[in-house]
């Protein structure tokens, strides 16, 4: 059986072409080095070195074996380094869940910064609604998640990632589009595109509570799960909608955005992770993301 140590001994002799210098390089004496070369040649059944009292030369087989064994030694060294970096959290694989709205600006910025700092960590993105992310976290199908608040009995850690105002998106052809601020009474019986009650439950509940508290109800014409589809319908003039401010980054034409009649309506996004996990890269990525968001002014670490 060929051992890596024997390859290492042979590589030193092949590069030095001198047993004494090779032995000193390996911090060993010459006799055990010669023995390792002999064992290697016996295992291979070929002569690798031509020895004389004055010189050491590689045979034809020795030259070929040196090239291949050097590649094996380099691969072994990389494997050791990768294992160490993985154990320390500087290398590995992270599956990151996120909502569609998060993908407009937050995710691209974070991933760019993360890959620049930790190029050895492979980030796999999974777009999911918040309820799906909770289930995926519990099943360890994803490692981290950017999601909306959802009731859960699972043992997750949470950090507030962003808090943004909700805005009214109006077709630019609508009469209300010319008003700088929309009053509560203006919404009565207006065609309205609502988030779906299951897939878009967070926004559905928040917007429903807003209208319930105001005592005024628009006329719901569609219920849609994803923000980009809602805005496409607004753009087409189907109706108006209430969306998070980050939706403006989609830059859809023929839509105007107006503040709500209440200033205390915000959309919150959390970074979540399972408290029990076996992925060292998870802690590295989470801590980096929290620090990056704080430095960007999106969250307060205090």
Q: Which pLDDT tens digit goes with each residue over 221-252?
A: 999 999 999 999 999 999 999 999 999 988 99
79 lies in the same domain as 17: yes
Residue 19 belongs to a domain with what CATH number? 1.10.10.10
CA distance 255 to 234: 7
Among residues 107, 118, 156, 137, which one has the least CA distance to residue 284? 118
Residue 256 belongs to a domain with what CATH number? 3.40.190.290
Please give the structure tokens belonging to residue 57. 């030369």
Is the pLDDT higher at 301 or at 76? 76
Region label for 38, one of left (φ > 0), alpha (ψ between -120 and 50) or beta (otherwise): alpha
CA distance 83 to 172: 57
Band (199; pLDDT cuts 50, 70, 90): confident
125 lies in the same domain as 250: yes
CA distance 73 to 77: 6
Last residue of a domain, one of 41, 56, 88: 88
Q: Are 61 and 48 in contact (CB under 8 A)?
A: yes
258 lies in the same domain as 138: yes
State how far the alpha carbon of 169 is from the alpha carbons of 88, 206, 216, 219, 287, in Å: 46, 16, 18, 15, 35
157 lies in the same domain as 293: yes
99 lies in the same domain as 151: yes
pLDDT above 70 for 211: yes
Task: Mean pLDDT check: name the lowest of 112-116, 147-151, 267-271, 290-294.
Answer: 147-151
200 lies in the same domain as 259: yes
Average pLDDT for residues 246-269, to the nearest whole number?
A: 93
124 lies in the same domain as 246: yes
128 lies in the same domain as 45: no
Last residue of a domain, one of 40, 63, 88: 88
Which residue range forms the structural domain that includes residue 291?
90-302
124 lies in the same domain as 8: no
The predicted structure's pLDDT at residue 287: 94
* Dihedral angle, C-alpha 290, 293, 295, 300, nearest 10 °: -80
112 lies in the same domain as 260: yes
The predicted structure's pLDDT at residue 302: 40
Last residue of a domain, one of 35, 67, 88: 88
> What is the reported pTM?
0.72
128 lies in the same domain as 170: yes
The predicted structure's pLDDT at residue 154: 67
**What total of structural domains would you count in the chain?**
2
The predicted structure's pLDDT at residue 122: 93
pLDDT above 50 for 301: no
Percentage of the chain with pLDDT > 70?
A: 97
State how far the alpha carbon of 185 is from the alpha carbons of 86, 115, 162, 204, in Å: 58, 49, 30, 20
**282 SS3 class:** helix
Please give the structure tokens belonging to residue 84. 């160490």
Query: What is the phi/psi pair of residue 108, to 5°?
Result: -55, -40
Task: Mean pLDDT check: name the lowest of 4-8, 100-104, 107-111, 257-261.
Answer: 100-104
The predicted structure's pLDDT at residue 243: 97
21 lies in the same domain as 49: yes
């Amino acid at each position: 059986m060929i051992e890596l140590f024997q390859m290492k001994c042979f590589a030193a002799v092949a590069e030095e072409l001198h047993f004494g210098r090779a032995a000193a390089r390996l911090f060993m004496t010459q006799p055990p080095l010669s023995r390792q070369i002999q064992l290697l040649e016996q295992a291979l059944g070929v002569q690798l070195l031509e020895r004389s009292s004055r010189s050491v030369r590689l045979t034809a087989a020795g030259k070929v074996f040196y090239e291949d064994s050097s590649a094996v030694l380099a691969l072994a060294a990389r494997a050791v380094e990768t294992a160490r970096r993985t154990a320390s959290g500087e290398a590995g694989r992270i599956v990151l869940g996120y909502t569609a709205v998060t993908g407009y600006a937050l995710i691209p910025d974070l991933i760019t910064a993360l890959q620049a700092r930790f190029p050895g960590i492979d980030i796999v993105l999974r777009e999911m609604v918040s309820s799906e992310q909770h289930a995926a976290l519990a099943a360890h199908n994803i490692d981290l998640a950017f999601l909306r608040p959802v009731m859960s009995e699972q043992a997750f850690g949470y950090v507030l990632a962003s808090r943004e105002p909700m805005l009214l998106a109006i077709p630019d052809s609508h009469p209300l589009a010319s008003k700088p601020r929309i009053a509560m009474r203006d919404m009565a019986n207006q065609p309205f595109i609502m988030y779906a009650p299951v897939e878009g439950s967070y926004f559905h509940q928040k917007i429903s509570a807003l209208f319930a508290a105001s005592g005024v109800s628009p006329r719901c014409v569609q219920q849609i799960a994803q923000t980009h589809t809602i805005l496409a319908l607004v753009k087409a003039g189907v109706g108006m909608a209430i969306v998070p401010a980050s939706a403006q980054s989609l830059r859809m034409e023929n839509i105007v955005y107006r503040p709500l009649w209440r200033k205390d309506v915000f959309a919150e996004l959390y970074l979540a992770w399972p408290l029990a996990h076996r992925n060292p890269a998870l802690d590295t990525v989470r801590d980096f993301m929290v620090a990056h968001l704080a430095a960007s002014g999106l969250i307060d670490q205090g």
